[in-house]
């Protein structure tokens, strides 16, 4: 006759079928983080790839052209939410033109 398994044995058996989450700082979690970052960068690159090859044009000039095109769109009749979205787009273009540090280019 076999003795009843103790609680520790029951917990081991219950955990056997389900995968264990990787511990923070382990090689497995670091690899998962690396794969996630690599996939994120890949998705961003494919989404942001321009239709035309990059020219030697100044980023400020490119942003200015984009802002001018946005100003033409603003004259079209639209809702307030759409104007707010255009403002967000314009601000993003300004940030791209200025780069990471705002003090690097003085006017």
pTM of the predicted model over 0.85: no
Report the distance separating Cα 61 and Cα 68, nearest Å: 11
| Contact yes or no for 97/63 (Cβ under 8 A) | yes
3-state helix, strand, coil in the chain (%, to 5): 65, 0, 35
Q: What is the mean pLDDT of residues 70-80?
A: 83
- Reported confidence tier of residue 22, pLDDT bands at 50, 70, 90: low
C-alpha distances (whole Å) from 4 to each of 12, 14, 19, 44, 95 are 14, 15, 26, 56, 67
Residue with the larger pLDDT of the pair 3 and 28: 28
Q: Per-residue pLDDT tens for 77-100?
A: 888 888 888 888 888 888 887 776
Q: Where are the domains of the chain?
A: 58-99
Look at residue 59 and tell me whether its pLDDT is greater than 60.
Answer: yes
Average pLDDT over residues 34-44: 91
């Amino acid at each position: 006759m076999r003795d009843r398994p103790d609680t520790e044995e029951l917990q081991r058996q219950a955990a056997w079928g389900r995968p264990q989450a990787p511990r923070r700082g382990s090689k497995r979690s670091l690899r998962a983080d690396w794969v996630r970052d690599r996939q994120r960068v890949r998705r961003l690159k494919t989404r942001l790839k321009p239709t035309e090859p990059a020219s030697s044009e100044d980023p400020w000039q490119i942003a200015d052209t984009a802002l001018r095109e946005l100003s033409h769109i603003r004259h079209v009749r639209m809702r307030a939410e759409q104007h707010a979205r255009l403002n967000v787009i314009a601000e993003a273009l300004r940030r791209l033109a200025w780069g990471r540090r705002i003090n690097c280019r003085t006017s």
